[in-house]
Amino acid sequence: MQAERAADLLAAAHGVGDPFAAAVRATRTAITIADAKQSDHPIIFVNDAFLSLTGYDRDEVIGRNCRFLQGQDSDPDQVDRLRRGIAGGDEVEVEILNYRKDGSSFWNALHLCPVRDRAGQVAYFVSSQLDVSDRRRAEFELGDTRQRLEAAVEERTRELTQALEQKTALLHEVDHRVKNNLQLISSLLLLQNRRVTDPAVKASLRGMLERVSAIATVHRRLFQSEDVERFDVSAFVRDLVSDMVGGARRDDIQVKLDLQRVDIAASKAAPLALVISELFSNALRHAFPIGRSGEIFVGVTRADGDLRIEIADNGVGTENAAKPGDSGAGFGLTIIQLLCQQLKARAETNSTESGTRVVVHLPVNGAQT
Amino acid sequence: MTERPLDVLIVEDEVLLATELEFLLDEVGCHSVGHAMSSDEAVAMAADLHPDLALVDVHLRDGPTGVDVARRIHDDCGGVALFMTANVKRLPADFAGACGVIGKPYSQHGVRTALSYLTVCLRDGQAPGPPPIGLELAPAYARRWGLNHLHPAA
């Protein structure tokens, strides 16, 4: 047969003692040589590595076209690439599923290279084949693992998003209830205040209403900001002063504000609001007896890392304002003392006949703009 | 002011809040025409009584129906609603046709100044200045009353 003759010729041309032929025969890489000048390019040489890779004997493969290695799951696109490479006389590299004699499959990294004769005609096709099944399996498993991981991450993200939505909804609900209940408490105090006639009781109720309003203003402000953890003291003071001066109906008292933006931790907002409310209320109610006009100054600044709140009036001073039996004012002072202790704040009062000045220093630590 | 007092409808499911609001309306010279506690009641009373202003809470006896009430008062009854709610952030961007919102918890003074301010706006079709603290106007009404997107400092 022609193929056997070509094989003989090849063996003769590269006889014993040729180191190149010995290398091809002995290498662990499977190698085949096909005759490009015969029809259907029969295999004319295979090395032992090829035989052990595919499970065939030498006489079962010599004279056949290489395509017997393909099977039902060989990718037709890769086969087509191979065919076009051969037809064009080009070098081709494909990874293709091939089959052994026993029917088992393996991934073949096939490299096909045309060899030309002196006239430039393609005389042989030399192919090397490498079993890359392990790598393909690892890649597949990796892809599979990644897919499962991605699915797990997606699922977890969905759960967390849902949990966050629920939490946000709950926060809104609680916030809503707190605000409504504060409104309810205010209404109760206002309604009772409309009923009672005793001036002392009225004053007590008014004092309590102011305190509840201060806390209510805190809650209205707290959720308006983007950051629910922080509380803008100056914005609060602006609201509080507007409410209290408006409520007092004392057009003869001017208010001057010097407000710097200072944020404090939300957890300190209510106690600080109560302190400011008491101090401002004292000035508003006691510094200026009916008939005496004047000015109240409120300053919010940052000084040496502390929040500094100054409330000063040019009224009659605490000595003159303190009336025996005015338990309301006494209770207010107690509240200020207790809350300053709680806040670790320092309050300095300076009262003369030309007015009262109270300065509160509150350490603000990290919670600042 | 010698003008006709503003007719105001209260839409609120908390009776104590509504009762206190009635006193307050009286004090600022408004006329309370009624008090509705559910959405059906509110729309029926608005259609019937033609108030100048309806103070509308979002959460009513039949659920969070206040937004719908405001829209129907605006669309069907040609009235003006003002929200009074603790859920300011959850109102639709167009305020459902309402003229603005007072956030709860509100203060007596805040409601008083808001009502005096709105009385002038509704009477003159022109705002006397920026809205007072505690009142936020709907963009459409701010434009209508000549404020051109002027909002109170947050």
Q: What is the mean pLDDT of residues A201-222?
A: 92
For residue A164, give the amino acid letter: L
A291: left (phi over 0), alpha (psi -120 to 50) or beta: left
Distances (CA, A) of A214 to A182, A265, A270, A327, B20: 10, 17, 8, 20, 19
| Token output for A75 | 């990718």
Mean pLDDT of A218-225: 80
From A192's Cα to the closest Cα of chain B, the distance in A is 10
Cβ–Cβ of A247/B108 closer than 8 Å?
yes
- Greater model confidence, A65 or A351: A65
More confident residue, A364 or A327: A364
pLDDT-above-70 percentage for chain A: 91
How many CA within 13 A on the CB side of residue A73? 9
Report whether pLDDT(A1) > 70. no
Does the distance separating the beta carbons of B16 and A188 come in below 8 Å?
Answer: yes
DSSP A37-54: TSTT--EEEE-HHHHHHH
pLDDT of residue A7: 59
Mean of the per-residue pLDDT values of chain A: 88
State mean pLDDT over A64-70: 92
pLDDT of residue A3: 56
| Banded pLDDT at A368 (limits 50, 70, 90) | very low
- pLDDT (0 to 100) of residue B39: 96
pLDDT of residue A303: 86
Residue A254 pLDDT exceeds 50: yes
User: What was the pLDDT predicted at B104?
Assistant: 93
pLDDT over 60 (residue A15):
no
The band of A245, judged by pLDDT with boundaries at 50, 70 and 90, is very high
- Report the pLDDT value the prediction gives residue A328, as an integer from 0 to 100: 56
pLDDT at residue number B148: 72
Instruction: Supply the pLDDT for residue B89.
Output: 85
**Does A45 score more than 50 pLDDT?**
yes
- Contact state of B133 with A242 under an 8 Å Cβ cutoff: yes
Position A318 pLDDT exceeds 70: yes
Q: How far is CA B44 from the centre of its chain?
A: 17
Q: Which residue of B has its CA nearest to A179?
A: B105
- Chain A closest CA to B3's CA: distance in Å? 23
Q: Which residues of B touch A222 (CB under 8 A)?
A: none
pLDDT at residue A118 greater than cutoff 70: yes
| Closest Cα in chain B to A242 | B133
B102, B89 Cβ separation under 8 angstroms: no
Strand segments, DSSP code E, in A68-191 are: 92-99, 105-116, 122-131
User: How large is the average pLDDT for residues A185-203?
Assistant: 94
Residues of B with CB under 8 A from a CB of A: 14, 16-17, 19-20, 23, 59, 86-90, 103-110, 112-113, 132-134, 154
**Across the interface, do B86 and A175 touch by the CB < 8 Å criterion?**
yes
Does residue A8 carry a pLDDT above 70? no
Over residues A77-88, the mean pLDDT reads 91
pLDDT of residue B102: 96
Cα–Cα distance measured from residue A151 to residue A111, given in angstroms and rounded to the nearest whole number? 37
Q: Give me the residue from A188, A238, A243 closest to B107, CB to CB.
A: A243
Which residue from B minimizes the CA distance to A188?
B16
Residues linked to residue A359 through DSSP beta bridges, in sequence order: A310, A348
Nearest alpha carbon to residue B14 among B36, B32, B41, B30: B36
* 3-state DSSP assignment of residue A115: strand
Task: Look at residues B140, B94, B137 and name the one whose alpha carbon lies nearest to residue B151.
Answer: B137
More confident residue, A304 or A235: A235
Query: What whole-number distance in Å separates Cα of residue A205 and Cα of residue A334?
Result: 17
Q: Give the predicted TM-score (pTM) of the model.
A: 0.70
Question: Alpha helix locations (H) across A14-75?
Answer: 19-26, 48-54, 58-61
Identify which of A175, A184, A246 has the shortest CB distance to residue B17: A184
Nearest to A61 by CA among A37, A45, A83, A81: A45
Which pLDDT does position A331 carry in this prediction? 86
Residue A4 has pLDDT above 90, yes or no: no
B3 falls in which pLDDT band (50, 70, 90)? low
Cβ-nearest to B104 among A180, A190, A242: A180
Q: How far apart are CA A297 and CA A245, in angstroms?
A: 12
CA distance A182 to chain B (A): 6
Asked whether the beta carbons of residue A190 and residue B14 sit closer than 8 angstroms, the reply is no
Band (pLDDT 50/70/90 cuts) for residue B87 is confident
> In this structure, what are the phi and psi dihedrals at residue B60, rounded to the nearest 5 degrees?
-115, -175
A to B CB pairs, distance under 8 Å: 77
In A232-251, the residues whose Cβ lies within 8 Å of chain B are 235, 238-239, 242-244, 246-247
Confidence band, pLDDT 50/70/90 cuts, at residue A164: very high
State how far the Cα of A263 lies from the Cα of A233, in Å rounded to an integer.
6
What's the pLDDT tens digit per position in B105-119? Answer: 999 999 999 999 999
Q: Would you give the end-to-end CA distance of chain A in angstroms?
A: 94
